[in-house]
Structure 1
Amino acid sequence: MQPTTNSLITATRKATKFLQRDFFELEMLQNSSRGTQEFCTNSYLRTKNFLKEELQKHYQFLFFADEKYSVNDEATIIVFVNPIEGIQNLGKSIPFFAITVTYLKKIQQEFVPIFSIINFPVLNEVYYAEKGSGVWSESDSRTSSKVTRLRASSCGNIEQAIVVTNDTTTGLKISQNVRCFGSECYNLIMFATGKCDIFYSTTTDYALRAAFSLIIRESGGMLIPTTCGILSSNNHLIEKIKPLIT
């Protein structure tokens, strides 16, 4: 693990302490939609402010998913943050929501994602990608910590393939086996771990798109350029699904 990755993971772990508490408190608010919405908004703002305070110590160009992204020519390193992705799951006390942080470096006048972190606070699972070094999961229990390298599926049968997506209508054009977990990040991790075979996302969130492109490539997946989102699979399925999605 690179020092930059370690520092980004540390920042997200500090932020998860009150998110874990908020998650369990939300179970008590399920009968009040207004109370749940306000609670989630406060959780988001608290997480955002904490991460901003932590990361601004080290990075000048820091952008959050709910802010406009604009940099000047002086920037050589930028950091994208989504404080709570899958916030609707948080509101329903469903544990599939995450903090994402992605570090990008300017290479030949283009910003390239180099490090990306996805932290699932309630699951106690952290996933990180380093350009050229793969994607890894780190899960903590009370007694030990386990680190595992992730690899995308090698499934070559389109009829057996599972599509994970936030757009089930499009997903069903590819396969009848469709999953949607209410979190783009969790959908992606299901692909990167090889549990699902095709990943499709319609997200326009620049913070997530940067993270997804790095994690897909480093897990061995292949990206298909589309005008309406991110589509990825392995080299066995890629040519089979291109005609279906277009």
Structure 2
Amino acid sequence: MNSISANLNVMIKACEKASKILIRDFGELEKLQVSKKGPRDFVTNSDVKVEKIIIEELKKARPNYSIISEENGVEKNKDTSNSWIIDPIDGTINFLHGIPHFAISIALKSNDEIICGLIFDPIKDEMFYAEKNNGAFFNNQRIRVSKKNNLNECLFAIGRLKNEPSFTYRRSGCAALDIAYVASGRLDGYAQDNLNLWDIAAGIVLIKEAGGIINDIDLNNIKNIKVLASSAEINTKFIEKLSNF
């Protein structure tokens, strides 16, 4: 295994602890699907529980770091130059419907840049992580963005677009995994607007460390973020295609 920083180690441990709850709740949810009551409250509860465990674990190791998270909002602590950015369940609607495509996402922002990111899909047991200047990894294997340069052979993920694009695309309902898949070469590019910082923070360092290109993102902005990520090979073509919308 490649050498990882103490901070990433803390993130992985927090993630693994929280994912046990998530897997258990997902199993329960499948029984709830058929009930009239509907699982929405149950899912909100899972979201809060998972976030609480992650925050507890991170605070044990780094009590002074600040926190930006989906359920809790912004918590400024003694150390404001370091912030954890947490999304306990990215892909909540998939989770709600019993679709096994969601992820826990944790990133570390230090002095206005993301230096460490982790995206974990607990059901498929797939972990994507990256640290600044240390490469991007998938379950301990080094990953790179795809090398394709013909748009017709590419597969993209996109969010809401006004018009139907003329390339092959998917909408998976999980921004974090879409970006992780671009970093690992499964997808060739990803574009979406109106995202929150916790959806994509970990993905920023993953894309960069996997040799891809991602648009400049203002990390002081928590909402309404636009993301455009792909390999360097097709970035220009991809942007040209999207500019027709």
Q: Same fold by TM-score, threshold 0.5 exceeded?
A: yes
Q: Give the Cα separation in 2 of the matches to 1:59 and 1:205.
A: 25
Instruction: State the TM-score, normalizing by the size of structure 1.
Output: 0.86
Give the residue type in structure 2 aligned to 1:15: A
Give the aligned partner of residue 241 of structure 2.
244
Give the residue type in structure 2 aligned to 1:48: E
- 8 Å contact 1:62–1:79 — kept in the other structure? yes
Q: Superposed, which structure 2 residues align to 1:120-139 within 5 Å?
A: 120-138=121-139
Q: 3-state DSSP class of the match of 2:147?
A: coil
Give the aligned partner of residue 117 of structure 1.
118
Deviation at 1:203, TM superposition (A): 4.2
Q: 3-state DSSP class of the match of 2:185?
A: coil
- Please state if 1:222 is matched with 2:213: yes
Q: 3-state DSSP class of the match of 1:167?
A: coil
Q: Give the Cα separation in 1 of the matches to 2:49 and 2:79.
A: 30
- Please state if 1:78 is matched with 2:71: no
Instruction: State the TM-score, normalizing by the size of structure 2.
Output: 0.86
Percent of aligned pairs with the same amino acid? 27
Q: 3-state DSSP class of the match of 1:182?
A: coil
Distance verdict in 2 for CA 1:15–1:73, change over 3 Å:
closer
Distance verdict in 2 for CA 1:70–1:16, change over 3 Å:
closer
- 8 Å contact 1:166–1:200 — kept in the other structure? yes
Give the aligned partner of residue 201 of structure 2.
210
Deviation at 1:180, TM superposition (A): 1.6
Give the aligned partner of residue 5 of structure 1.
8
Unaligned runs of 5+ in 2: 218-223
- 8 Å contact 1:162–1:198 — kept in the other structure? yes
Give the aligned partner of residue 220 of structure 2.
none
Q: Give the Cα separation in 2 of the matches to 1:8 and 1:52.
A: 10
Q: Give the Cα separation in 2 of the matches to 1:102 and 1:15.
A: 15
Q: Which of 15, 18, 21 pairs up with 1:15?
A: 18
Give the residue type in structure 2 aligned to 1:32: S
Q: Superposed, which structure 2 residues align to 1:62-211 within 5 Å?
A: 62-69=67-74, 71=76, 75-106=80-111, 111-138=112-139, 147-167=140-160, 169=162, 172-173=164-165, 175-211=166-202
